[in-house]
Amino acid sequence: MREILVLGAGMVGISSALALQERGHSVTVVDRRGPGLETSYGNAGIIQSEAAEPYAIPYAAATLFRYAIGRTNDIIYNIPGLLRSTPALWPYFLASAPGRHARISQTYAKLTARSTHDHAPLIAAAGADDLVRRSGFYQFYRTPETFDAAAADADRLKKIYGVASTLLDTKALKTEEPALKTDIAGAVFWTSPWTVSDPGALTQAYAALFEARGGRIVKADVTTPMRENGSWRIENAGEYLTAEHLVVALGPWSPEYLKPLGYRIPMVRKRGYHGHFEMTEPLNRPLMDAANGVVLSNMRQGLRITTGAELTGPVAPANLVQLERGVAGARELVDIGAPIENSTWFGHRPCLPDMLPLVGSAPQHEGLWFNFGHGHQGFTLGPTTGSILADMIDGREDNNFALLKPENRRLRCRG
């Protein structure tokens, strides 16, 4: 049995703690706020088993031009945020080239294909079935041209990765979703993903399971760790937490936390927003509006509308333009009521330049482990990379995931 500290109580950190605990280790989780209150709270609530390929930057000149002049709601930026992101964004663009992206996707698809399987025992053990629906979601398209392209891409994903989908026309989609009040060109119905009515609550249910099994969660700011006498030590209110191993699962805050130890890990931090609204007739499944880059999901708090990405500084003030555009587009589709007070939120998705999460041992420090950089899929992949990390700590290697390890990455990751 090893003593292990896990820094971060989001889906990735809590799932890592559960996997390590299951293998017989004594685990303490440390977080400044508590479980499921940061990025794991503010997502669209989809466990995306269909997401076989990570989001790439398109190489089409027309699309890049629309990005540049702000004619798309998928991504917006400000100049300081764009300049801040450039050291990671440029290699991310290079990794988006079709050949490299295809090679990255070979590993990525193996991760997402496991996602629902790895969540399933935790959902059952945590008694959280009431939060989960196993019935997929829709991506819909407003023009025949965009729908035809999406249909061809869905067929490609089915042939390469076995991702299941069905194509729906307006009539079929309205039969499934009576709340829709306008016609669309068509929708791709991804049948394998699971959806969650409260992502933060699911993370908290996993955290409660961890504590019920004997784990410990400490609410504290995570100070710079020190390595002494074969153990890691962090300060907590004048006292010290010590352990043989330290796991950094701090999502978008991980690179800054590791800087004092000498690591320079570039990251694109994509800010996303959501708001909740009243709705008289609920949706049966989440709807992704491809034209506006937003997802409409029924949540416990109301109808959640979740945006695409904004490239901005980590402490920049909120810019609600994407959410406002998304809400305007959503009102064309369904009857949406008043905004729910104090429900607007934003957080950051931690994207590494080669699009894969960073999972494995730190290059220059014994007993230091990384599990972060999941981009848009931390909520989806937490239990999967948590299990992979636990195997690594126990000395069991899986060659299918060798590209996740720091020593095999094209990252400026210097100790």
Q: Hey, where are the domains in the chain?
A: 1-56+98-131+196-266+354-415
pLDDT number for residue 198:
97
* 350 Cβ contact partners less than 8 Å away, ≥ 6 residues apart: 39, 251, 252, 254, 267, 269, 372, 373, 374, 375, 378
In the block, tokens 């989780």 appear at: 29
- Percentage of residues of the chain with pLDDT beyond 70: 99
Nearest to 414 by CA among 266, 263, 267, 265: 263
Distances (CA, A) of 109 to 49, 136, 198, 319, 348: 9, 17, 25, 33, 23
pLDDT values of the chain reduced to their tens digit, one per residue, 415 residues = 899 999 999 999 999 999 999 999 999 999 999 998 888 898 999 999 999 999 999 888 877 778 777 778 888 888 888 888 889 999 999 999 999 999 999 999 999 999 999 999 999 999 999 999 999 999 999 999 999 999 999 999 999 999 999 999 999 999 999 999 999 999 999 999 999 999 999 999 999 999 999 999 999 888 889 888 889 999 887 788 999 999 999 999 999 999 999 999 999 999 999 999 999 899 999 999 999 999 999 999 999 999 999 999 888 999 999 999 999 999 999 999 999 999 999 999 999 999 999 999 998 899 999 999 999 999 999 999 999 999 999 999 888 999 999 998 876 555 4
Domain with residues 1-56+98-131+196-266+354-415, CATH architecture:
3-Layer(bba) Sandwich (3.50)
For the stretch 10-47, pLDDT in tens is: 999 999 999 999 999 999 999 999 998 888 898 999 99
CB 266 within 8 A of CB 324: no
CB 30 within 8 A of CB 134: no
pLDDT number for residue 413:
56
pLDDT number for residue 67:
78
pLDDT number for residue 52:
98
For residue 393, report the phi and psi dihedrals to the nearest 5 degrees. Answer: -65, -30
CB 404 within 8 A of CB 385: yes
pLDDT number for residue 305:
97
Report the alpha-carbon distance of residue 97 to residue 354 in Å, rounded. Answer: 11
pLDDT number for residue 414:
56
